[in-house]
Structure 1
Amino acid sequence: MKRVRVRAPGKINASFRVGPLRTDGYHFVASTYLAVSLYEEVLATAKPGTPAGDVTVSISPASTLDPAALATIPLDDDNLAVRAARLVADVSESTCGVHLEITKHVPIAGGMGGGSADAAATLVACDALWHTGLSREELSQLGAELGADVPFALLGGAAVGLGVGDRLTAALAPTALHWVLVQSDFGLSTPLVYGALDTLRDGAEPPVPDQVDPHILAALRAGDPALLAGCLANDLQPAAVSLAPGLAEVLDAGKARGALATLISGSGPTVAMLAADERHARNLSAELGAAGYAAQAVQGPVHGAHRVLDS
């Protein structure tokens, strides 16, 4: 096997509760993750004659994001995909390096876990390329070293995330739900958004969240968008809006055009708008596009990181 292509989904947070700051510098959270049909793709190509730790990365010209945004992506050890490849190399008997070509579709610093999807896809690709034979659980343990969203990008579907979001329990969501994503032409730093939330709380310490709203899980099980619409919530949304006030206009624009509900995904600034069905999502996306918003219809839940081509 000379190369492996793996696709991994971005995510939205149907709910996101944020608790107090932990001693490790992270916050306790309780989140409902949903993998959606906006994918990152990693093509891992073997480099014969080089050591396994020789990892290089490039961004594919097939990427659909703004070139200026793509230019901000690090191509060294600060790239999560590079670090993911090195983690697999550390436990592999392979003596071969790898080049990673990443095709970007998930917004950068958009609250949808694009970098985590790259890392998840790389873990699966390098495991296959080097015949390492790691289980999904073992890959997830490696992924947790890179960030809380990486294990979910491996799992996909719908899940509850506790702790810092990495303690995952799969949630039953048998029916596809339809969303419209509105991307911004800027990113938001996740630590900065959390810091803004702490400032807004003005020293008040919330309890440690140990579960998500059961109504959300019931709505996902039923596949009922109307029921889900009343449950969507994100504690980080006020903080994101305080840093980027224009997001309030985007949230209102979706509601004005018939979205069942709107919320900022994760730390933002991507806005997720819930639609009643596929046709509603297409129409809502078209209306928002005509109004000048970068809107795209997606569905979820979808599968986690998976191979799409070996050669």
Structure 2
Amino acid sequence: MTIAATSQGVRARAPGKINVFLKVGQVMEDGYHDVATAYQAVSLTEDVRAYPADDFSVAFTGTIDTSDLATDGSNLAIKAARALARSAGYRGGVHLEIDKHVPIAGGMGGGSADAAATLLACDALWGLEASKEELLALAAKLGADVPFALVGGTAIGTGRGDQLSPALAKGAFHWVLALAEFGMSTPDVYRELDRHRDRHAQDIFPAQHQPTVDANVLHALRAGDPLMLAESLHNDLQAPALHLAPGLGKVLQLGERNGALAGLLSGSGPTVAFLVPDADSGMELQVALSASRLTAVRATGPVHGARLIHD
């Protein structure tokens, strides 16, 4: 069953994410890696407005520099809209206006959030009433992080990160995010991880074929205990990312000297996520990072996944 398409714009919002735990398996024959990750959706979000159009187009605003973002068919939001239209047999188009706040190529899934919000907004705009399962199937084809941007909250991701199972999380966790003035290529960081493992093959344990999330992470999330979670934060991509961008090590040290319980790179970086005990500690750390001329924002998690916003 479908509902009537609307001639008015539709607005949807989706969150960025932090990988509070990320274990990367061995490189496979196709060059990809299986992962085991604990995702947390945070209050740094992307807003997508979808308007009726004959073709597919996208424009950007927001608190970050979007001047280098692609606006052609290679843009992930355009890919999402086209994928949904093909799946539903819809013959029209859409004009997307995206208000961006998640850093670009920052390891926080900003493009994935755009894609997830676009799926939801276009589904409503076109009156398709696609099921959650249908949207998740499309999301998985668009990118490993897109399904989580749809679901939000806290979840365990396996496979490429797109096979999700919910994880219980109590209360709110407080984060301070140090945003870099540059982006990092996820494939480059994964390639550096493979080189890092080759260089240190005699000193580190071999990568698992099928990695798993540490049980201590699950216990900390379930207890809502930031001290316990701080002891369990882990990211296999951090060492190779620091090798490619050594200056990030100084950012990590600065945060941990100024009240952070712990810090780690989010995903493939270069965003550094600092876990703090509470909102007041977060404000103090934000001030300290800003005094060192770093761009720092506060966020909390977990938050909802992609949802429609009614103005």
| TM-score, length-scaled by structure 2 | 0.94
**1:195-214 mapped onto 2 (5 Å cutoff):** 195-202=191-198, 204=201, 205-214=206-215
Structure-2 residue corresponding to 1:58? 59
Q: For 1:58 and 1:174, how far apart are their aligned partners in 2?
A: 37
SS at match of 2:156: strand
Q: Tell me how far 1:297 sits from its aligned partner.
A: 0.8
SS at match of 1:71: coil
- The equivalent position to 1:155 in structure 2, one of 147, 151, 156, is 151
Structure-2 residue corresponding to 1:117? 113
Q: For 1:72 and 1:30, how far apart are their aligned partners in 2?
A: 31
Structure-1 residue corresponding to 2:33? 27
SS at match of 1:253: helix
Stretches of 4+ moved more than 3 A in 1?
none
186-195 or 203-212: which moved more? 203-212
SS at match of 2:270: coil
**Cα deviation 1:159-188 (Å, max 9, x = unaligned):** 000011011001011311000000000000
- The equivalent position to 2:14 in structure 1, one of 8, 16, 27, is 8
Matched, 1:244 2:250: no
| TM-score, length-scaled by structure 1 | 0.94
Unpaired runs of at least 5, structure 2: 1-5
265-274 or 25-34: which moved more? 25-34
Report the RMSD for the aligned CA atoms in angstroms.
1.2
Q: For 1:158 and 1:208, how far apart are their aligned partners in 2?
A: 24
SS at match of 1:259: coil
Q: Is the 8 A contact 2:24 2:211 kept in 1?
A: no
**1:291-306 mapped onto 2 (5 Å cutoff):** 291-306=292-307
Q: Is the 8 A contact 1:93 1:132 kept in 2?
A: no
283-292 or 255-264: which moved more? 283-292
Q: For 1:243 and 1:210, how far apart are their aligned partners in 2?
A: 24
SS at match of 2:184: coil
Structure-2 residue corresponding to 1:87? 83
Q: Is the 8 A contact 1:17 1:209 kept in 2?
A: no
Q: Tell me how far 1:211 sits from its aligned partner.
A: 2.0
Taking every aligned residue pair, what percent have the same amino acid on both sides?
55
Unpaired runs of at least 5, structure 1: none
132-141 or 87-96: which moved more? 87-96
SS at match of 1:148: coil
**Cα deviation 1:262-284 (Å, max 9, x = unaligned):** 00000000000000011111121
- The equivalent position to 2:132 in structure 1, one of 136, 143, 148, is 136
Q: Tell me how far 1:209 sits from its aligned partner.
A: 3.2
SS at match of 2:57: strand
Q: Supply the AA of the counterpart residue of 1:135.
A: S
**Cα deviation 1:270-307 (Å, max 9, x = unaligned):** 00000001111112112211221111110000000011
